[in-house]
Amino acid sequence: MTQKIARFLADEAPATPCLVVDLDLVAANFRKLRTALPEAAIYYAVKANPAPAILERLVELGSAFDTASVNEIDMVLAAGGRADQISFGNTIKKMSCIRAAYERGVRLFAFDSEQELEKIAVAAPGSRVFCRILTSGKGADWPLSRKFGCAPAMAEALLRRCRDLGLEAFGISFHVGSQQREPKQWDEAIRTAAAMFRALDADGIELKMLNLGGGFPTRYRRNVPKLCAIGAAIRRSLRKHFGNRIPDLIAEPGRQMVGNAGVIHTEVVLISQKSADDPRRWVYLDIGKFGGLAETEGEAIQYPIRSHRRGKTGRVVLAGPTCDSADVLYEKANYRLPVDLSIGDRLEIRAAGAYTSTYASVAFNGFEPMRCYCI
């Protein structure tokens, strides 16, 4: 919570729920990552928060962008980004979307299957492509599972096909899982990629780029390793596995760039108990899983939640306002709020700048999606 956000909330008293993002913190996060990984080109993962003001600030700072759809590409272009600063990083694209991206000048595409590679060959001829490999997702609070990436042997075989398909085999990417808390998790993927670089090089296919993905954590309730420690671990792994032939590097931060820059302002709608002998209070907020807090699924992401009241606290279950029983935020995680918390109180949900505003449903139960203010 920055003074700037506190002043905005006090002066403007915006309707709740809303997200307020401090753009100066986004800029600070950008600089921190650049310091931690000076050799890597930063491609902000737009899906984390595509607010135009955030994209504009990042364009000013010299960021490039990882996009998942044509709409995201158009948002980057509208913010002043250039097509040659855009990667179409989604491995699941319609042919028509690949073509639309190509027409806008995008020449860098991700794939993780033969069928996707063939689509790119037809719709974006001559482009640079990189193959995403599977990772375990261990150590991550929001792992990305087996949905993305393919086995290294398959990736190698596909990269060998690029020349015949009229594409440039440009590199390899991976993602160690979002909110990754263990710096060592990058090592295994870097080792695997280095072996692939060597094997392909022996056959005259010279890859140029390694995409380190995202996963850089932001601080929620628990401490996370410092970004410079993660950067140092990655650089050690690169030297160990690539020696003096380290390729061009790309990093795709999402959460790290905007997570701690945003605060959600929410109102307590109801406080109740389920029986006379169960002291736990149920606290219902005007935001829930369908209003933007989708990452509370499985209580995986645990936002710090603050009240302005300072007294004694007691255990609570936190839930959203919709008529869906899945709309419970935290039941097992030990959340405590002041015992004198009252209906109508405002609460701050901190570190909520990433993966919130765009996860809000359009009108489930008639609730409008929350507003995002960038200041």
Ligand X SMILES: *Cc1c(COP(=O)(O)O)cnc(C)c1O
Binding site for ligand X (CB under 6 A): 45, 47-48, 66, 89, 175, 178, 213-216, 252-256
Q: Alpha-carbon torsion 165, 169, 170, 175, what sign? A: positive
Residue 20 bridge partners (DSSP):
263, 373
Report the alpha-carbon distance of residue 164 to residue 121 in Å, rounded: 10
Q: Indicate the residue among 88 and 284 with the shorter CB distance to ligand X.
A: 88
In sequence order, what DSSP letters do the residues of 266-286 get, joined into one string? Answer: EEEEEEE-SBTTB-PEEEEES
Catalytic: 97? no
Q: Indicate the residue among 139 and 321 with the shorter CB distance to ligand X.
A: 139
| Active-site choice (97, 131, 323, 372) | 323
Q: For residue 113, which amino acid is it? A: S
Going by the DSSP 8-state scheme, the letter that residue 169 receives in this structure is E
Report the alpha-carbon distance of residue 133 to residue 151 in Å, rounded: 6
Enumerate the H helices of the chain as residue ranges: 3-12, 23-36, 52-61, 70-78, 95-103, 114-123, 152-165, 185-202, 227-242, 255-258
Q: Smallest gap, in angstroms, from Cβ of residue 230 to ligand X? A: 11
Report the alpha-carbon distance of residue 98 to residue 287 in Å, rounded: 35
Reference 270, options 348, 335, 344, 322; nearest CA is 344
Q: Smallest gap, in angstroms, from Cβ of residue 216 to ligand X? A: 5
Q: Indicate the residue among 67 and 237 with the shorter CB distance to ligand X.
A: 67
Q: Indicate the residue among 161 and 181 with the shorter CB distance to ligand X.
A: 181
Q: Smallest gap, in angstroms, from Cβ of residue 212 to ligand X? A: 9
Q: Smallest gap, in angstroms, from Cβ of residue 255 to ligand X? A: 4
Residue showing the smallest CB distance to ligand X in the complex? 214
Active site residue ranges: 323
